[in-house]
Structure 1
Amino acid sequence: MSSAGSSPAGRGWLDPGKGFLEDVPPRKRQLALALRALARLLKTQDLDKPADSYLTQADAAKRLGCKADSLSRYLNRPRVPTRNFVELLHKEASADAAISGQDVCIALDDLLALHASAEGEQLGCKLCVELGGRIDSLTQQLSTPCPACAVRQQAQDERAAELAALRGDVAALRAAVQEMETVEAGLQARLAMAKASRTPLPVPRQQRDRQRSEKEVAVARQLTTQAKDLDGAGKPDSALTLLRQSTTELLTPVETALVLLELRQEERDHLADDLIHVYGRDQKNLRHAMAVSVALNEEGAFDDAGAILRAVLKRSAGAT
């Protein structure tokens, strides 16, 4: 056989696109299509030819124990082959397919069911034809997805996606909380160390430090007086706005701590508490907030020192 005869274009009797004449009934067409597919799996056994060479129609008929004309009728005409022919073709095709690593297109039981249906059709058995139609209908129903099952499966998939997203959010929150707890523990440890090591100075401060302290105290008292006047005039919101803008934008951490101490001394606790809240919310510089907390701690205002830290950490956790 020539190279052209071994190619798909040259094997006309195995052409998968070859049609049927009108006299070929439906059941026989189904059987013939299955037989054609099996025939295309047959390969030459001639050692002088390539192992993947296709058989000629005559060689295939000889291998299957029939004449070439009979083989053509089985594959293209209304004639139904014998059961022995069908079983032999399936056996030979399966053997060649295994050698070449291919899959057989149809199981033997399914092929024999097609053969029985085609025989019943040829004999005019109404029962066989009716059963074949019912089998086709049931097969189509089984292959068609159930609408209710499809909706239920979609809902399950969406639920699974939601649960996966929630698990991711929970994991992220846990990581943020753990990080916050680590930072808070470190800051608390530093505050404890500062408190433990706080001892009276052995010598008076230098003149420059005393002047700077007096200046900081003066700034803090002036701001506190302005806020107290606004609060006393029934304008607590304006007083808080003044305190927030001054402490977060103008004052140093030490001056901010002194403002809180002055507010406590003037019994303006509500302004002090509100200032701690808004300062922790609006102060973006963590170092400044830590410095305020340390300054308060050095003055013995331990509750306010801790409150400043908690407010800043709460804002940081919310931003995360």
Structure 2
Amino acid sequence: MGTRIREDLPPGRLELVRALKKLYSCLGRCTQAGTALRLTEKGHTVTKGQISRYLNGNMLPNAKFVEALYDLAVATAGNNPGGMTRQQVLSLHGSAEPTRCGTCRQTRQRNRALAKENEELKAAEAGLRAQLTTAQRRETPLPVPRRERDRQRRSSDVRAARQIAKQAASLQDAGDPGAALAMLLDTVGTLTPVEGAMSAKILRAEKRDQLADTLLHVYGRERREGDVLWMALKLHEQGLMNDVAVVLRAATSQAGTDTGV
């Protein structure tokens, strides 16, 4: 009763094994050795080891074994044991794959590795978000004498952002999206976090989503953590929460690559 079903069974064989397990459970406390003896007495010679392999999916039984086990379950528990008819069980046997899936285990292992990587990236992103929150809390109003200078700086950032967005859009409209993307790649290294955030906002407003995504991805991957956090803060202030997530994910993905995640 304690035989475990293999994890790498293809769908058809898995359904058959589950049906065989139901029939076996109808035999009550009969052990696999006892079941082998009872089947042999009924004219179907089988060993305990074979039954074990049938019940965990290592071996595909022949139809005669399936019928013999079904008859034994009927004799023990009555008609339709496990809620199944003879034809249903035989149909499952006919649909069972003759060999086990050779790639299922590798696929599951790969999926588990990807799931682990995803969790690590989420943890890294959560760390960056915590730092972003801290940066927001620490941000304090500047003294009054510096307001005019800050206003001029913001105006300069906006002009630079508009110029960047305009150049990228012009190249894209000219039928050369590759040149537009290349221009953004070359520009990212010189953008301040405010210019980057403003450029993304302008591109979004002009429905240049591909260019905006490229800008955010490259900025997150190429710039140091402090710049990325500052840019995320500015995006947050502008209500671009989706773009905050984009740039942080790009940064955490790069961090995972750098550390061999």
* TM-score normalised by L of structure 2: 0.49
Relative contact order, CA 8 A, sep 6+: which one is greater?
Answer: 2
Higher Rg: 1
